[in-house]
Structure 1
Amino acid sequence: MCSKPDEDVTQTLHTIFHEGLDLYNKVSNSNEPTNSPQIQRDVQKGIALLEQATRLVSLADIFSKNEELDELATNDIQYLLLPALLGFLTAKLTSRERKEVVEIAEVYFKDFLQRTNGYKLSNYHFNKPEETVDNSKKTDFELLSMAVNTRANKIQKYREHKELKEHLNNLKTNVENEHADEDIKRKYFLTMLRVFIHDVVDELESINMEKPILEHMAAVKREDAPKPKRPPPPPLKPIIITKDAAQKAVYGAGYPSLPTMTVDEFYEKRVAEGAFPDPNKPREAKGGAMSLQEASLAGISLNDQQDQEEEETENKEERDDEELIARMRARDEYRDEHRRGWGNRMNRS
């Protein structure tokens, strides 16, 4: 029997996941340009929701490498879509360099296909760099046969994809019925997964063609651009920030292909990069006032610091410190000669 916290996590996960899925569908079906402010807001909000759903899936320990598809609960099947949805939304980001965006999306897509391969929903073959085929040694007849087979495979995949989408639309109508049984829902989720498998494979093929172009453009840009005065900021990476090492182990188990780090590790990394202040080196050492954040990180109370300064001033007054007395007399003389409000003529000549 499930405990109350588990029920709360499941309900929250279901709500967040479907909010993110609705935003994905909204962005995918919109006629607005991808770089429009509204589309970009929806993309970023959808990514945030789906990342949160990913953390909840990891926390609930829904998936395991040792289980079969039949062992998955019907409502849990839909959460296999998370990396695919994150990949498609990430690929639509326009606020970062395109090369960086493509690389992050590729991580999500491959993670999705690794999972569907594990549940025997797909048989995607991940090519290694050394497995590239050398077509220069093939005869004209072999090259022609390859072209014919490739075209036939694409036509076959297109037909399968079209049939799956039609079947998905029919199942969706039945699923929206409040009396739909679990078997209908399971078929609906599995059909949705198979549709996304086709879409992700096509997207990876596009990425493989786009990456050499982006690498060439980046190389040309590096050659033409003047040397920057300061190093560029570190590239964006798909990371999951966790509260502590225990949660890091839990979240990391959910999506091992994505690097994870605790909050402390993340802060130390940013301090090393110079983006965050070092709590061990307060700004007072540099001659400036210490901020509240720096004082907190350094374990210093600004109120205690102020009390200490007032106490030092009183001690100097008791010792008749000449420098302090001269400064106080100069301040009193200035106030006598410059009464408050004298400088404000109220626009009168």
Structure 2
Amino acid sequence: MAESVPGNSTEEETLKHLFDDAMKLYDTIENGKESTNSDAVQMSIKNAISKFEKVTDLVSYSGMFSSNESLEELPTETLQYLLLPALLGTLTLKLCGRPRKDIIHVAEIYFKDFLQRCKDYGVTDVEIPQGDSQSQNRECPLTEQAKIASMVLTRDAKIKRYKQAKELKDKLSNLSTAMALPNVDEETKRDYFVTLLLCYINQALDELASIDQEKPILEYMEKQTGPKKPKQDRHIQPLKPVIITRDAVQKAVYGLGYPSIPTMTIEEFYDNRVKEGLFPGSCTSIPHQTIHSSEDDPDDVENIRKEERIEKDDPEELARQRNMDEYKDEHRRGWGNRYNRS
């Protein structure tokens, strides 16, 4: 059995409030009419990603999930947190201003992680796509008969999944109506969350298929134009997934399943956030006071704006960053501090 969230119900409420807050922003992005590449929508996407990353941190820190559990053992309210990699993958694909190759690589990791976890808990038994099927076909060319058989199987699978997706969508619509009623019973809640997971499983499979088709196109374009030289400015953070395991033992276990994923323990994640100046410098615990639940988190918005200014090579922001670097180079930390010195 997974351990309960440490502390009291207030911590559970903080987690739920932050997740619900992020979901509202996510729904606004998904249902919005404004162009995805607009500055306002891109800021909302980055803000939502930041919030879901914080939720991922809290879920991992709580020890909510265990590798030796079944779906029946999970409390109903925790089922929604299995969606986190799928939600982050969906948002990542909407990002602009980053190399597309990096975007689809990170999204692919998120979707595969989501499918693997759902499979581990018995939510689904689908085969998780491995690698680039098109490049594998180039290495091992199929006969005409094998190609026809593969096309038939693929077509049948798509039709079956399309019918299943339509049925799930109708069921989810009915359950959503029931969830809006007061005093919803436990069975309805559980059915709703499981149906939601099944809907996102179909979506993840579709997204992975699209990514698989996009890869050779990007490779072709790169051959035609040549690889873009990465910006040398060290202040631009590389895009990478936030998939966190609870301890070193789980890190070793999950690392075997996802050799390409930069998995981190909670301590490593916290140390990185301390270095980035986002968390205080004590690693004994992660205080909830550092995590804001407001939808318009001023720290999140300011960090996103700084990142956007850097990505757009804003002269004032770059000058400020370089001046700070020069100051740090010339003034080592602790210089001038004469406290308790002779």
Same fold (TM over 0.5): yes
* Alpha carbons 1:27, 1:42 under 8 Å: kept: yes
Equivalent residue runs for 1:68-79 within 5 Å? 68-79=70-81
1:274-313 per-residue CA deviation (whole Å, 9 max, x = no partner) reads xxxxxxxxxxxxxx99847974x53212689xxxxxxxxx
Deviation at 1:132, TM superposition (A): 3.1
1:12-47 per-residue CA deviation (whole Å, 9 max, x = no partner) reads 111111111122221111222110122111101110
* Alpha carbons 1:35, 1:94 under 8 Å: kept: yes
Q: Equivalents in 2 of 1:222, 1:3: separation in Å?
A: 50
- The one of 185, 196, 203 equivalent to 1:181 is 185
Deviation at 1:241, TM superposition (A): 9.7
Equivalent residue runs for 1:134-173 within 5 Å? 136-140=141-145, 142-173=146-177
Q: Equivalents in 2 of 1:254, 1:76: separation in Å?
A: 22
Structure 1 residues 75, 137: closer, same or farther in 2, change over 3 A? closer
Deviation at 1:172, TM superposition (A): 0.8
1:108-161 per-residue CA deviation (whole Å, 9 max, x = no partner) reads 111101100101212233425699357744244x43333233222211111110
* Alpha carbons 1:168, 1:188 under 8 Å: kept: yes
Report what 1:115 is aligned to. Answer: 117
Structure 1 residues 294, 111: closer, same or farther in 2, change over 3 A? farther
Report what 1:18 is aligned to. Answer: 20
Q: Equivalents in 2 of 1:32, 1:73: separation in Å?
A: 37
User: Normalising by the residue count of structure 1, what TM-score does the alignment of the two structures yield?
Assistant: 0.68
Q: Equivalents in 1 of 2:55, 2:5: separation in Å?
A: 20
Letter in 1 for 2:116: Q
Moved more, 126-135 or 84-93: 126-135
Structure 1 residues 195, 294: closer, same or farther in 2, change over 3 A? farther
* Alpha carbons 1:84, 1:112 under 8 Å: kept: yes
* Alpha carbons 2:5, 2:12 under 8 Å: kept: no
Report what 2:294 is aligned to. Answer: none
Q: Equivalents in 2 of 1:53, 1:251: separation in Å?
A: 19
Report what 2:93 is aligned to. Answer: 91
Report what 2:335 is aligned to. Answer: 300
Report what 1:44 is aligned to. Answer: 46
User: Normalising by the residue count of structure 2, what TM-score does the alignment of the two structures yield?
Assistant: 0.70
Is 2:167 aligned against 1:132? no
Q: Equivalents in 2 of 1:104, 1:228: separation in Å?
A: 17
Structure 1 residues 51, 43: closer, same or farther in 2, change over 3 A? same
Report what 2:240 is aligned to. Answer: 237
Structure 1 residues 173, 228: closer, same or farther in 2, change over 3 A? closer
Q: Equivalents in 1 of 2:114, 2:38: separation in Å?
A: 28
Q: Equivalents in 1 of 2:326, 2:67: separation in Å?
A: 51
Structure 1 residues 177, 259: closer, same or farther in 2, change over 3 A? same
SS in 2 for 1:5: coil
Structure 1 residues 253, 15: closer, same or farther in 2, change over 3 A? farther
1:152-171 per-residue CA deviation (whole Å, 9 max, x = no partner) reads 22111111101101100100
Report what 1:100 is aligned to. Answer: 102
Letter in 2 for 1:88: T
Structure 1 residues 254, 191: closer, same or farther in 2, change over 3 A? farther
Letter in 2 for 1:138: T
Deviation at 1:49, TM superposition (A): 0.7
The percentage of aligned residue pairs carrying the same residue is 38
Structure 1 residues 294, 53: closer, same or farther in 2, change over 3 A? farther
Unaligned runs of at least 5 residues, structure 1: 270-287, 305-349
Q: Identify the structure with bigger relative contact order (alpha carbons < 8 Å, sequence gap 6+).
A: 2
Report what 2:63 is aligned to. Answer: 61
* Alpha carbons 1:63, 1:254 under 8 Å: kept: no
SS in 1 for 2:226: helix
Q: Equivalents in 1 of 2:204, 2:248: separation in Å?
A: 28
Structure 1 residues 196, 13: closer, same or farther in 2, change over 3 A? same
Moved more, 100-109 or 252-261: 252-261
Report what 1:196 is aligned to. Answer: 200
* Alpha carbons 2:101, 2:218 under 8 Å: kept: yes
Q: Equivalents in 2 of 1:42, 1:24: separation in Å?
A: 8
Is 2:247 aligned against 1:212? no
